[in-house]
Amino acid sequence: MATALVGIIMGSTSDWDVMQNCAQTLDQLGVPYEKRVMSAHRTPDLVIDWARGADARGLKVIIAAAGGAAHLAGVAAALTPLPVLGVPMESASLKGLDSLLSMVQMPGGIPVATFAIGKPGAVNAALFAAATLALSDAKIKRALEDYRAAQSKKVAEAKLP
Ligand SMILES: Nc1c(C(=O)O)ncn1[C@@H]1O[C@H](COP(=O)(O)O)[C@@H](O)[C@H]1O
């Protein structure tokens, strides 16, 4: 199995329903990844160990998903020099606005590149991670070009009822 280049982490198994779209997109592009559930609130020691070791394990990009008081991405970003992409999960009470704001409003100095709430963000974070890797990987670049071409064809050929 190829060494993982992307680490997908999420605050709860309840985030997987949405985040499987991120994993599927990376699968489509042939980008190797690892995926883990961990929480800055519920498993702080695990997050510290995992994020501190991510760079040395060969990961290049981290995608962190969380909902509500979504601190996971920010805490991971504080623990690693790797780029961290945040995907806010839709929350039951505030529809994900809480997740979005707690992820995007990072203090200066520790960036989290924050994507749209829910599935569009999950897919786009995977595409963005792949685009970052494509800067130095011709195979991933071709896979991204093919993805775009297929997407354009689908839209151009769409039939309305
Ligand atoms: N925001 C965080 C963090 C964190 O930021 O560390 N850990 C869990 N959670 C979020 O809590 C929500 C509810 O979790 P449960 O469904 O397990 O109660 C999830 O969306 C998760 O990402």
Q: How far is the CA of 16 from the centre of ligand 1 (A)?
A: 11
Query: How many C-beta atoms surround the C-beta of residue 127 within 10 A?
Result: 18
pLDDT above 90: residue 2:
no
Mean pLDDT over each residue of the chain, to the nearest integer = 98
Q: How far is the CA of 69 from the centre of ligand 1 (A)?
A: 8
Strand partners, 86: 64, 114
pLDDT band at 1 (very low <50, low <70, confident <90, very high): confident
Q: Are 69 and 102 in contact (CB under 8 A)?
A: yes
Q: Is 93 annotated as a binding residue?
A: no
Nearest CA to ligand 1 atom 14: 12
Give the Cα separation of 88 and 41 in Å (integer): 16
**What is the ipTM for the molecules in this complex?**
0.99
Strand partners, 63: 8, 85
pLDDT tens digit sequence for 11-56: 999 999 999 999 999 999 999 999 999 999 999 999 999 999 999 9
In one-letter notation, the amino acid at residue 40 is: A
Q: Which phi-psi region, left, alpha or beta, contains residue 96 (left: φ > 0; alpha: ψ -120 to 50)? A: left
What's the average model confidence in pLDDT over 104-113? 98
Tell me which residues have their CB closer than 6 angstroms to ligand 1. 10-12, 14-15, 39-42, 66-72, 89
Ligand 1, atom nearest to 89 Cα: 20
Q: How far is the CA of 67 from the centre of ligand 1 (A)?
A: 5
pLDDT at residue 99 in the model: 98
Query: What is the percent of the chain with per-residue pLDDT over 90, rounded to a whole number?
Result: 99
Q: What is the pTM of this model?
A: 0.98
Q: Is 114 exposed, middle or buried (0-12, 13-18, 19+ CB in 10 A)?
A: buried
What is the enclosing helix (H) or strand (E) of 86?
strand 84-89
Mapped onto helix, strand or coil, the DSSP state of residue 104 is helix
Q: Write down the H helix ranges in the chain.
A: 16-29, 44-54, 72-79, 97-104, 119-134, 138-156
pLDDT tens digit sequence for 78-93: 999 999 999 999 999 9
Q: How far is the CA of 42 from the centre of ligand 1 (A)?
A: 9
Q: Is 15 annotated as a binding residue?
A: yes
For each of the domains in the chain, give its residue range(s) and CATH number, in order of start.
Answer: 6-156 (3.40.50.1970)
Give the Cα separation of 22 and 28 in Å (integer): 10
Give the Cα separation of 20 and 9 in Å (integer): 11
Q: Is 12 annotated as a binding residue?
A: yes
Mapped onto helix, strand or coil, the DSSP state of residue 69 is coil
Q: How far is the CA of 111 from the centre of ligand 1 (A)?
A: 20
Ligand 1, atom nearest to 65 Cα: 22
